[in-house]
Homo-oligomer: A and B are copies of this chain.
């Protein structure tokens, strides 16, 4: 085992069940298995997908979040390549292109899924051109992408952990995935005692169902709260840092993330609490906030919680799934290159 691969394995060992690579999504026995987050932590199960459409629907129905959509989507491409294996090269390519288009449609706000699909599509095309096994080529590429991803996670987590002080209360939002969980794990390994304040994140409860159990599993002191409580706890002096993921960051430093991220950032600034967003980089196709299309979801989700009605069916509702935090409210963007100013992302990535 090379030194860097061993270092990666050490870091992955710190992660809770739900964030280990094999539990996000994998290709097995001709199916894509997607770690089912919809019933986590009550059940640790997988959704077994036998077609591209199965995977697309799983992504659309929120079986997985964060990097899960693209990891699932590229595994769907591997599955589709194997299904098309006996066809002509032209048919295989056309079939993979159809699959790619369908999978890219699943998340309008998520750009990474499109990049990764183009990437593995390009790999498949090259494999076809040179007469190689397309499925094997895609799977090899996926391993490379995941190695790279966990390596980047580890770098970001290291930069994040160094921002935390012993005794800090750390507010987050939604499920900030491996960067954040690993950041707290590394800070803990460094001997810092932390408390994580985790908003439940209605309506899907990613905070209650994913973040809180993940942090609890790795031994962090967790305080689950409702989404209306961050400012009250800031006023009590309990919170010293605010850290979230970012679904995407525009070239001019606007953070697009789960709805609620923005109002926590406003209240953090009001209390002089720094806000850091973990990001893989800014999005070259999104120059500014005007280029962001905010996804609205089914208002019926607002009228229920875990399948139980919270009001009557005749009540109107509205469900913006994401919001936009302007760079003025962002203290730093934690990237693999370091903690960058949101106003200097373009330079940081050139």
Residues of A1-44 at the interface with B, using a CB-CB cut-off of 8 Å, are 41-42
Q: Is A94 part of the binding interface, using a Cβ–Cβ cutoff of 8 Å?
A: no
A323-B232 contact in complex given A266-B266, A310-B209, A318-B223, C-beta closer than 8 Å: yes
B231 engages A263 (CB within 8 Å): yes
Rounded to whole angstroms, the CA-CA distance of A315 and B208 in the bound complex is: 9
Residues of A244-300 at the interface with B, using a CB-CB cut-off of 8 Å, are 258-260, 262-263, 266-267, 270, 294, 299
Interface string of A301-327 (1 = CB under 8 A from B): 011011111111011111110111000
Contact among B199, B307, B317, B323 with A235 in the assembled complex (CB-CB below 8 Å): B323
Return A219 CB to nearest CB of chain B, in Å: 12
A226 engages B223 (CB within 8 Å): no
Closest to A205 in B: B310
A310 engages B303 (CB within 8 Å): no
| Cβ–Cβ < 8 Å partners of A173 in chain B | 228
Contact among B212, B230, B302 with A263 in the assembled complex (CB-CB below 8 Å): B230
Rounded to whole angstroms, the CA-CA distance of A202 and B207 in the bound complex is: 14
Rounded to whole angstroms, the CA-CA distance of A111 and B303 in the bound complex is: 33
| Cβ–Cβ < 8 Å partners of A236 in chain B | 320
Contact among B208, B229, B262, B315 with A310 in the assembled complex (CB-CB below 8 Å): B208
Q: Is A177 part of the binding interface, using a Cβ–Cβ cutoff of 8 Å?
A: no
B262 engages A266 (CB within 8 Å): no
| Cβ–Cβ < 8 Å partners of A91 in chain B | none
Pick the most buried of A173, A213, A229: most chain B CB atoms within 10 A of its CB. Answer: A229
Q: Is A331 part of the binding interface, using a Cβ–Cβ cutoff of 8 Å?
A: no
A318-B225 contact in complex given A209-B311, A308-B307, A310-B209, C-beta closer than 8 Å: yes
B267 engages A228 (CB within 8 Å): no
Rounded to whole angstroms, the CA-CA distance of A227 and B225 in the bound complex is: 12
A310-B306 contact in complex given A231-B266, A262-B232, A267-B266, C-beta closer than 8 Å: yes
| Cβ–Cβ < 8 Å partners of A262 in chain B | 231-232, 235
User: Can you list 10 contacts pairing A with B, beta carbon distance less than 8 Å?
Assistant: A42-B309, A216-B314, A216-B316, A223-B316, A223-B318, A224-B302, A224-B318, A227-B227, A232-B294, A235-B323
Instruction: List the interface of chain A (C-beta within 8 A of B).
Output: 41-42, 173, 197, 199-203, 205, 208-209, 212-213, 216, 221-233, 235-236, 258-260, 262-263, 266-267, 270, 294, 299, 302-303, 305-312, 314-320, 322-324
